[in-house]
Amino acid sequence: MKKAPRKVRRRPSGRDRRPRHDDLVGYDDPEEAVALIAESVPVLAKLARRHKLGMLAHLLGMTLMEAEEYLRVRSKRKLS
């Protein structure tokens, strides 16, 4: 009996690959980074809940709370 041939996964050519962090290069200001996180996390939390990933959804919810708190405290400091 012959073995089934292995499927070979093709990797993208070198010119198509780039580090994922390149998209985040412009976020040097911590407040901008936190604002991006606060925008992105609700979508991820919803995805986690949809797939019944309870602990992950919980941690993402906590992340959102922390980001919102950071932004709230930061805005109070700027007012004073």
pTM of the model: 0.65
State the pLDDT at residue 79.
Answer: 74
Domain total in the chain: 1
Domain span holding position 37: 28-79
Residue 69: what residue type? Answer: E
State the pLDDT at residue 78.
Answer: 74
In a domain, 8, yes or no: no
In a domain, 21, yes or no: no
Query: Which contiguous run of DSSP H or E holds residue 36?
Result: helix 30-50
What gap in Å lies between CA 79 and CA 60, rounded to an integer?
Answer: 29
State the pLDDT at residue 80.
Answer: 64
Angle at 46 between CA 54 and CA 31, to 5 degrees: 105
Show pLDDT as tens, one digit a residue, over the chain (80 residues).
666 777 766 666 555 555 565 666 667 889 999 999 999 999 999 999 999 999 999 999 999 999 999 999 988 877 76
In a domain, 12, yes or no: no
In a domain, 63, yes or no: yes
Residue 39: what residue type? Answer: E
